[in-house]
Structure 1
Amino acid sequence: MVMEFFHNTKAVRLRSHLDKYLVADDDQESTRQSRNGGSKKARWLVEVVDRGTSDIIRLKSCHGKYLTASNDPFLLGMTGNRVQQTVPENVKDLRIEWEPVRDGFQVKLRAYGGTYLRANGGTPPWRNSITHDKPQTGSTYNWILWEVEAVDVPEDEHLNDYLSIVSSFSSVSDELSGLELGSPMSIRSSFNSPRASTTPRKSPLLKITAMELFHNAKAVRLKSAHNKYLTAEEDEESVTQGRNGSSKAARWTVEFVDNAENIIRLRSCYNAYLTASNQPFLLGWTGRKAVQTHPKRLDSSVEWEPIKDGNQVKLKTRYGQFLRANGGLPPWRNSVTHDIPHRTSTQDWILWDVHVVDIVVKSPAPRPPPPLVTHVDSVASESSSPSTHSPKSASFSRQESGDSLGSSPPKGGEGRLIYYGVADGYGEVDEGVEELCISFKGNGVEELTKRLEEETGLEDIVVCTRSPLNGKLYPLRLQLPPNNATMRVIVAQSSSKVARSFPKPVLSS
């Protein structure tokens, strides 16, 4: 519940949809919005009121006055009354009481008459003003939504004086918060715990779990909330979202940063790094461009911290922003930025599904290649099926005698070795990606197809071989070669251009 957060919080800051904070003006009477969230004027002391069935709080400014829903109109003839700082004659005055109402990851503060605390936008005199009102149109609904950040009241500001003032009608705890001054803690973390601490705690378990996903990955694809993939554009600079997850442009090579357990770098197919730049995506708007760069020196702008969020991952920059896949109308559509989302509707834009498309194959200790390796090569070269050949057969032989075939092939009862690569939409396989291998029992193409779907995480695939004569891909239609001969196949998706060009099978009458 939302009140569980306020019960464990000494003071809060309230941030509006305009990314501005509710502040108490120096005249000790008016309130407004300001971008200076670090100011003492943006801090509001929380008093929890025991009403039995109702969840009520009071908010006291740094001037010792209460946030009050007054009866004075903001402008004559217009809806919306002023929100002021006052010291009421009676602490039971209903105008200083607010009921927090949860709305997604944010809250609405309802006044005694059913109106809500509202942060106004637009032109002066509305700009930066604070009123209480009932939103009449959908376009202004988010004006009554606030993000709550817990802050500490430092000891050098005489916290004891604050507590003594409110002790007669406040249930503020005597336990001091461990937060640094101005350090934010999102309200959403408190919703997950019945007793949320005001001290932000890093959870090594979550981060290690996220990193374990990348530790075994040589290359990944990142799928956004819009079911599109993080894609490196051909200009070797832009980063967008695209539907073609099988494209090599959607493949990102994972690198690990020395002396940093929870940090990775992501390198595109153009050998450029995913970078959190300082370039604004649009002037006057939050969000900066995520781009590809070829830095002369690897710095923190190319470093990302994976943070697990359920079954997905957030990628955080060293400066606290998150990689964000934008939706909506152009120019936002399909763009990728790094930012801190403030609205409920965009919270999932920073969540990514991680698809591992290439794993790290750990090589055994160096040792002389066993004689059986040569036998496997000879069996592969003597097979009459085109599926046992490849234009890269010479390089494969060298690889088999080294890391990829560091151990002898499986014995007869263990099945055959199937080496495979994943093709892009045009049937090309990235030469820089190490070939993968599985052990497979059986001779059925359908069974092999299902097994490779499980291994690659792809759906609706076609298992192909490459002709040694013209280099073209051809789908496997018949049974696999007998005698458990080693094979090399190419995996293509049925929706790809190359798969659509395959000749249709001829059905016998």
Structure 2
Amino acid sequence: MERFQDRHHVWLRSREHGLYLHADLADGSSVYLHPYRATARAAWAVHVLHHFDGHMLMLHNAANGRYLAASTSPWAATAARFGLGGGNRVTLRDLDRLPMFAAGWFPIVSASGDVLLGHASDRFLRAIDRGDGNGVTVEVSDSRRPNTPWVVEAIPPIDSIPRLPHLVGIGHIARAIRFVRAERASTDGTFPHVAWACFEFTGRSLFNLRIELARRLNFAVVSDVIMCVRAGLFGRLTPLITDLPPNNVTMEIIVVTAGTIDANELRFPNFVFCCCRCLSSPAMADARAAAAAIAARHGVGQNPSRR
């Protein structure tokens, strides 16, 4: 578990294919592989759960807060084993209870230093190069199979709240925004129904949404508004740092005030800075070229296409 420090962020790169695990923000429930890593979609926050005198690893995405998961039902394992489809699907889910073994992973460090991500269903997270970026499954496997190991790359934190994307992704999508201040949470982490308010917001701009929330909550300083999402009752707060997804699904925003205890517990991944520094090295340049060659061979674009 030393590769996964609680509340820190990591990238997960397939050793065999050189592609990174991404969350699909368009549907909010699937994952895919892509060579590009300087994005919140490729950053995963570590959530270590201590239970039964042991530890269970959970990973939630830095863009939408949802947890990497797979089915733990006996049917799913049997379906995957016989190639029936559906049983080996990797998804993003809300954390509605603890422990939730569907989102539970157990890292095993291989002799090479890579990590095998075992699932609670006795299967392993696998990357399969299908050419469309969608080859992420959980299947019965072992360390001898080349498409099982993952390289865990630590993402350093940023020292301050990052600047929001400025007036981009405006669009014409309208969605309902339910919002509440973190200070109104009960001791069990829930929010009373009367604490929530709702309005319709048009566009995808996170910058504009913060201005609107600051106005509605009477913030004197707009930058004191930190917008967070929480995937399920037991999900950890995830600060929003990218524009809103391209859909009209209702969003629940928990507003944290800068400088408070809740705000000080938040952690922001400095993936842009790290990419600029690391990708300038010869070793990382070679790795990037290899990933680009794989992507070009199979028609996967270099720029992120899934918003």
TM-score under structure 2 normalisation?
A: 0.50
Matched, 1:148 2:152: yes
Query: Deviation per CA, 1:372-417, whole angstroms, max 9, x where unpaired?
Result: xxxxxxxxxxxxxxxxxxxxxxxxxxxxxxxxxxxxxxxxxxxxxx
CA RMSD between the two structures: 4.1
2:286 to 312, 320, 339: 339
Q: Residue in 1 aligned with 2:51? A: 51
CA distance in 1, matches of 2:138, 2:58: 15
Instruction: Provide the secondary structure at the position in 1 that maps to 2:146.
Output: helix
Q: Residue in 1 aligned with 2:29? A: 29
CA distance in 1, matches of 2:230, 2:114: 30
CA distance in 1, matches of 2:56, 2:270: 27
Instruction: Provide the secondary structure at the position in 1 that maps to 2:115.
Output: strand
Larger RCO of the pair (alpha carbons < 8 Å, separation 6+): 2
Q: Residue in 1 aligned with 2:13? A: 15
CA distance in 2, matches of 1:20, 1:49: 27
CA distance in 2, matches of 1:53, 1:149: 27
Matched, 1:180 2:184: no
Which structure's CA Rg is the greater one? 1
Alignment of structure 1 residues 16-415 onto 2, 5 Å: 16-17=14-15, 18-25=17-24, 26-61=26-61, 62-70=63-71, 77=84, 81-103=88-110, 104-122=112-130, 128-135=134-141, 138=144, 141-151=145-155, 152=157, 155-156=161-162, 162=228, 180-183=270-273, 319-322=280-283, 339-340=286-287
Query: Deviation per CA, 1:441-473, whole angstroms, max 9, x where unpaired?
Result: xxxxxxxxxxxxxxxxxxxxxxxxxxxxxxxxx
Is residue 149–residue 184 contact of structure 1 (8 Å, CA) maintained in 2?
no
CA distance in 1, matches of 2:70, 2:225: 26
CA distance in 1, matches of 2:6, 2:100: 24
Instruction: Provide the secondary structure at the position in 2 that maps to 1:339.
Output: helix
Is residue 59–residue 67 contact of structure 1 (8 Å, CA) maintained in 2?
yes
**Equivalent residue letter for 2:138:** H
Query: Deviation per CA, 1:468-508, whole angstroms, max 9, x where unpaired?
Result: xxxxxxxxxxxxxxxxxxxxxxxxxxxxxxxxxxxxxxxxx
Residue correspondences, number: 191
CA distance in 2, matches of 1:38, 1:6: 20
Shift of 1:340: 4.6
Q: Residue in 1 aligned with 2:252? A: none
CA distance in 2, matches of 1:59, 1:118: 16
**Equivalent residue letter for 2:282:** Q
Is residue 13–residue 37 contact of structure 1 (8 Å, CA) maintained in 2?
yes
Instruction: Provide the secondary structure at the position in 2 that maps to 1:121.
Output: coil
Is residue 3–residue 152 contact of structure 2 (8 Å, CA) maintained in 1?
no
Shift of 1:19: 0.9
**Aligned pair in 2 of structure 1 residues 183, 147: CA closer, same or farther (>3 Å)?**
farther
**Equivalent residue letter for 2:140:** K
CA distance in 2, matches of 1:131, 1:22: 11
Which 5+ residue runs of structure 1 have no aligned equivalent? 186-199, 201-316, 324-337, 342-509
**Equivalent residue letter for 2:118:** R
Instruction: Provide the secondary structure at the position in 1 that maps to 2:129.
Output: coil
Is residue 7–residue 47 contact of structure 2 (8 Å, CA) maintained in 1?
no
Instruction: Provide the secondary structure at the position in 2 that maps to 1:37.
Output: coil
**Aligned pair in 2 of structure 1 residues 19, 68: CA closer, same or farther (>3 Å)?**
same
Shift of 1:54: 2.5
Q: Percent identity?
A: 23
**Aligned pair in 2 of structure 1 residues 32, 179: CA closer, same or farther (>3 Å)?**
closer
Is residue 48–residue 56 contact of structure 1 (8 Å, CA) maintained in 2?
yes
Is residue 67–residue 94 contact of structure 2 (8 Å, CA) maintained in 1?
yes
